[in-house]
């Protein structure tokens, strides 16, 4: 009898140790996956506070400097769906790791051009385009990878909240880090990117273990039919989420461009101090994303109303911005903008990841990420044009887009009542 009890105790102890080991491994895997959006965000947003300095060094216009941000996103927009398709067929890590390496190479090209060439602008854009190729197959593939690795929707939502928080933390860190690094040498941020990519590559290679069992790849013709079928059944809410994602990133990168230009031209705030000012609204975005990810769990009805409320808060905040351009008034209103966007993004991620079958998840989430990149690409150049021609009208244009986001949420996203958390 004692022998039986000892055997049972041994088995229980072994099971507990295995559970602890699995939990430990999951935490490291989540950390490794979270490094990807963090680094991809740093690879783009880090240049926002440095744009004015680049204009002077490269002798280019405000619109041309905005293209250093935009070209990265344009290339990513085109290639993200292809990367998603490939990840569905050959595996997530087989797409992510080469993409991180390509992103690092793009940073080297841009940095070398800025350092060595007298007329460096167009080569810098080529390097940024190469970074965009890498970005297409890195950060957007993390969402379907999370969906593959975790079984319960609660785990998926919680992990996606961490991933989105990592993304937004990158935005918080970007202006500060970009200002500090550029304060040493103005082109040094380009060379920082390969270092970040190397760290993330090592983490993902060793610590992210994807499921061993993989479905046999579906022939392209059948795959295309299945995607059409997915849109036939889910097109209304999917298209709404795609558009809302684009609007959120358009408004975010638009107001960041506006804020960095205003702080420098009107208030003569630059360098690290400007980075710290930019970090205030972005910090609000980051914290809101984190707590929203923990709150929503599997509750799709709650996700809908958080998206609606965040969009309304964003529209009101942007509209009120037109009343004054006083420094702390701007910062306070941008803080509320950050809260609104930070509430929306984790809900969009969770809805789209948990609502699509695993075999199509990479492609559908990649289309969603393409739409987000469209917003990133459009924000700075559109605001650069509007700031020169429309005055306060630009705030009402941004407000109109935010109201459209709220209307789309109300009319197109209709989860069943059974999707409320138990």
What's the CA gap between 337 and 329, in Å, rounded? 12
Task: Find, among 134, 73, 74, the residue nearest to 109 by Cα.
Answer: 134
pLDDT at 215 over 70: no
Q: Average pLDDT, stretch 186-190?
A: 91
Which pTM does this prediction carry? Answer: 0.74
Model confidence over 222-280: pLDDT tens digits?
666 767 777 777 778 889 999 999 999 999 888 888 887 888 888 888 777 877 888 88
Model confidence over 135-185: pLDDT tens digits?
888 877 887 888 778 777 777 777 877 887 787 788 778 878 888 888 889
Tokens of 255: 């107001």
Contact 69, 44 (CB under 8 A): yes
Tokens of 61: 């216009």
pLDDT, the chain, mean: 82
Tokens of 141: 């593939």
Model confidence over 9-57: pLDDT tens digits?
545 555 545 555 455 578 888 888 888 988 888 888 788 778 888 888 8
Ranked by mean pLDDT, the top range of 202-216, 355-369, 372-386 is 372-386
pLDDT at 360 over 50: yes
Model confidence over 96-110: pLDDT tens digits?
999 999 999 999 999
Task: Find, among 42, 51, 47, 99, the residue nearest to 75 by Cα.
Answer: 99
Tokens of 167: 């993304």
What's the CA gap between 67 and 80, in Å, rounded? 19
What's the CA gap between 254 and 234, in Å, rounded? 30
pLDDT at 400 over 90: yes
What's the CA gap between 153 and 351, in Å, rounded? 10
Span between the terminal Cα atoms of the chain, in Å: 42
> Distances from the Cα of 281 to the Cαs of 44, 107, 145, 255, in angstroms?
18, 27, 29, 10
Contact 112, 53 (CB under 8 A): no
49-74: buried (b, 16+ CB within 10 Å) or exposed (e) per residue? Answer: bbbbbbbeebebebebbbbbbbbbbb
């Amino acid at each position: 009898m004692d022998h039986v009890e000892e055997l049972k105790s041994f088995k229980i102890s072994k099971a507990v140790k295995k559970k602890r080991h699995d939990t430990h491994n999951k935490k490291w895997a989540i950390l490794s996956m979270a490094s990807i959006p963090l680094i991809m965000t740093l690879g783009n947003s880090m240049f926002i506070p440095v744009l004015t300095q680049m204009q002077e060094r490269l002798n280019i216009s405000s619109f041309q400097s905005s293209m250093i941000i935009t070209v990265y996103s344009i290339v990513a927009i085109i290639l993200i769906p292809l990367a998603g398709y490939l990840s569905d067929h050959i595996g997530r890590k087989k797409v992510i790791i080469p993409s991180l390496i390509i992103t690092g190479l793009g940073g080297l090209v841009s940095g070398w051009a800025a350092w060595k060439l007298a007329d460096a602008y167009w080569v810098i854009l080529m390097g940024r385009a190469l970074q965009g190729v890498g970005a297409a197959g890195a950060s957007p593939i993390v969402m379907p990878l999370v969906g593959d690795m975790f079984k319960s929707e609660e785990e998926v939502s919680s992990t996606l909240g961490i991933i989105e928080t990592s993304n937004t933390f990158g935005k918080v860190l970007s202006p500060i880090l970009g200002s500090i690094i550029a304060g040493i040498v103005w082109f040094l941020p380009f060379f920082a990117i390969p270092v970040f990519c190397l760290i993330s590559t090592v983490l993902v290679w060793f610590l992210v273990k994807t499921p061993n069992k993989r479905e046999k790849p579906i022939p392209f013709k059948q795959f295309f039919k299945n995607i059409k079928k997915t849109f036939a059944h889910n097109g209304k809410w999917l298209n709404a989420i795609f558009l809302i994602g684009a609007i959120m990133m358009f408004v975010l990168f638009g107001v960041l461009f506006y804020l960095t230009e205003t702080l420098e031209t009107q208030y003569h705030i630059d360098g690290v101090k400007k980075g710290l000012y930019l970090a205030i609204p972005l910090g609000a975005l980051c914290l809101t994303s984190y707590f929203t990810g923990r709150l929503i769990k599997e509750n799709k009805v709650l996700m809908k109303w958080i998206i609606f409320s965040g969009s309304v808060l964003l529209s009101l905040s942007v509209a009120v911005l037109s009343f004054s351009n006083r420094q702390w008034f701007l910062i306070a209103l941008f803080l509320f903008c950050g809260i609104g966007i930070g509430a929306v993004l984790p809900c969009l991620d969770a809805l789209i990841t948990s609502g699509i079958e695993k075999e199509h998840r990479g492609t559908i989430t990649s289309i969603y990420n393409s739409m987000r990149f469209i917003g990133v690409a459009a924000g700075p150049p559109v605001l650069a044009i509007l700031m020169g021609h429309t005055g306060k009208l630009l705030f009402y244009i941004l407000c109109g887009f935010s109201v459209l986001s709220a209307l789309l949420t109300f009319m197109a996203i209709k989860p069943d009542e059974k999707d409320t958390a138990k």
